[in-house]
A and B are shown apart, each in its own frame.
Chain A
Amino acid sequence: MENRILVVDDEKEVRGFLSKALSRMAGFHVELAESGKEALQKIEKEPFDLILTDLKMPEMDGLQLITEIGKSKPETLTMMMTGHGTIDSALEAMKRGASDYLMKPLNLDELILRIQRVLKEKQRFVRLRDFADQLERANQELRRIDGMKSEFVSVASHELRTPLAAIKNAVQLVLKGTAGKINENQEKFLSMAERNINRLTNILNDLLNLSKIESGRIELNFENIKLKGIIELMASSLRPHADANSVQIDVDVGEQLPAVYGDPEKINQILTNLIGNAIKFTPERGKILITTKLLSKDQKGGYGDRVAISVKDTGIGIPPEHLDAIFEKFHQVEGSLHRSVSGTGLGLAITKGLVEAHQGKIWVESELGKGSTFTFTLPLSENERRDPHFRFILDKEFHRAQENESPLTLFLIQVLEERGDVKEGLLDRLEMKVKQCLCRKADILLRREKEKILAALCEANLAGAQVIRKRIEMEIQKYPIEGQGTSSVIKVGTATYPEEALSKAELFRLAKERLGG
């Protein structure tokens, strides 16, 4: 397509010369204007790719023109022609958004070359921007489809349940003799049918579980948990199953182990899956050992103080080529030793999702023929105590705000201490103070000792959020908190849905960004 160029110059000869040169030599479509005012009128009527303007003109000079164009048509490129000795003006033009400048007297070849370069750059920019737009659109579409997929899995699993129930009932009626006596062979095959109905039910349950985890709709009820009790209970409930396969389960968990922060039901599920797997892949007279260990920050598996729980077996082990993929969906390694229990291939994917919902990590070490050790971590309840909870509450509150069309403000409060050391208990006292300011309308949801940060959610709109924010800032200024050093600054960052941010991520990002400012 022909590029449209508008030449603006108050000297008729210059206009004429440039018009001829640019259209004949370079093939541009050239139009002319003798003043900034006329130029603006022309631009308003029809779009141009590039405006080539003189600096010195009566009434409106080139700099003003460039500023005006920048305001009204930011897409339009501008270039400035200046005389010798006016390099400052040329730089000023660039500052105001001009793409380039040219010194008079003009060298025609150079002029054309520079115009072509500027236009090409613009073309490249537009193409990149279009690509970015396309990517963003594709991304949105993917997110939508992903949501639909989760919805589909959920609906499908419900729809499959009803016929499955009728089949199961019918099979059980015949199998149990309610509908009349059956012979040995009939019993054998009906038992087979029943076993597979149960298997299908397990797959359905697993699929539903996994889709909930993947879509972030999983609900966790966090509390402080004594791991020793939970582990021993799970071990003893699985012992009959292990005994039947002549596998021994031992638990070695110290009394001194501090409490962890998690959802007891989900931790049960994690343990059941891991111990169940261990039983499945351990030959007769094998052993399963469950141990726990306190991890410090620097060790593998966590960025805070954590507890690592290991389930070690003397089983057949995992081939090295499977180790990476073992936590993926539908990944199964051949060789279950007990044919009665066939897996769904989803157990470890679910386990991993559940561990990650607790902000934990899971990994496996294995030696073929010797056994495997699965280890996962859980946060300690004292440390970062509300951290895993935070994401969940934020999800839930944000969802509720969206549904009820009510506002939601995220407050982040951070202590910035130049010398790096915050006195013992400062965060406790700050938390108390912030709570007072929030008038018990919101609770502190997150407390990250390392970054000295607190987070709270409140059903306040933008105006309300500003009032609360001022109140917090004044309160801190007037009554410094005990332990607050002279070099420490307390910053408050807020973001409000829907006035400022339309997504959860945006809410968090904006509040965090404002902490820095």
Chain B
Amino acid sequence: MNPKKILVVDDEVDLVETVRFPLEMEGYHVLVSYNGEDALNQARKENPDLILLDLMLPKLDGYKVCRLLKFDERYKHIPILMLTAKTQEKDKVLGLETGADEYITKPFEMDYLMEKVKAYLSK
């Protein structure tokens, strides 16, 4: 069986690396994007099994990326977990309104993230 494909999107290279590494150790195939536009293109081209998406991104923000994918019949099945430094209640509501499956605020527990990823991939 092919390994599951996960797209990690964040403009902070260090953060991407600290997320990519444990995911690869778990045996996932990890794709990365450092801006919203590239994330959207990769998602459409690679059709990943799950996306970890930051909100404040260059070129196209995470809300828009999420909306464009979630309102598209072809991609709306892909679980999107938002990882963001925006902690206000209204940001969270906005995030979930755009169709995100989870809203996880930074900093987060690595174990928690890994569990969430596993749970969504086995659904």
Chain A positions within 8 Å of B, measured between CB atoms, are: 157-159, 161-170, 172-173, 176, 178-179, 197, 201, 205, 208, 219
In the complex, whether B12 has a CB less than 8 A from a CB of chain A is yes
- Contact between B107 and A168, CB atoms less than 8 A apart: yes
Partner of A201, one of B22, B83, B89, B107: B107
Partner of A169, one of B25, B87, B110: B110
- Contact between A161 and B85, CB atoms less than 8 A apart: yes
- Contact between B107 and A173, CB atoms less than 8 A apart: no
Q: Which chain B residues lie closer than 8 Å to A168 at the CB level?
A: 107-108, 110
- Contact between B106 and A173, CB atoms less than 8 A apart: no
Cα(A179)–Cα(B110), bound, Å: 13
- Contact between A165 and B109, CB atoms less than 8 A apart: no
Q: Which chain A residues lie closer than 8 Å to B86 at the CB level?
A: 158
- Contact between A173 and B22, CB atoms less than 8 A apart: yes
Please name the 7 residue pairs, one residue from A and one from B, whose CB atoms are nearest each other, closest first: A169-B18, A161-B85, A165-B106, A165-B107, A168-B107, A172-B110, A166-B14
Cα(A219)–Cα(B85), bound, Å: 19
Within 8 A of A (CB), among B101-115: 105-111
Q: Given that A172-B109, A173-B110 are known contacts, is A165 also in contact with B21, CB under 8 Å in the complex?
A: no
- Contact between B107 and A176, CB atoms less than 8 A apart: no
- Contact between A166 and B110, CB atoms less than 8 A apart: no
The 6 listed contacts between A and B (C-beta, < 8 Å) are A165-B106, A169-B19, A173-B22, A176-B110, A178-B25, A219-B89
Cα(A89)–Cα(B38), bound, Å: 88
Chain B positions within 8 Å of A, measured between CB atoms, are: 12, 14-15, 18-19, 21-22, 25, 83, 85-87, 89-90, 105-111
Shortest distance from the beta carbon of A99 to any chain B beta carbon, whole Å: 58
Cα(A219)–Cα(B89), bound, Å: 9
Q: Which chain A residues lie closer than 8 Å to B15 at the CB level?
A: 162, 165-166, 169
Cα(A176)–Cα(B14), bound, Å: 18
Partner of B21, one of A159, A178, A201: A178
Cα(A147)–Cα(B86), bound, Å: 19
Q: Given that A162-B12, A172-B109 are known contacts, is A179 also in contact with B21, CB under 8 Å in the complex?
A: yes
Residue on A nearest B12 in the bound complex, by CB: A162
Partner of B18, one of A157, A158, A170, A219: A170
- Contact between A178 and B22, CB atoms less than 8 A apart: yes
Q: Which chain A residues lie closer than 8 Å to B83 at the CB level?
A: 165
Cα(A170)–Cα(B22), bound, Å: 10
Q: Which chain A residues lie closer than 8 Å to B106 at the CB level?
A: 161-162, 164-165
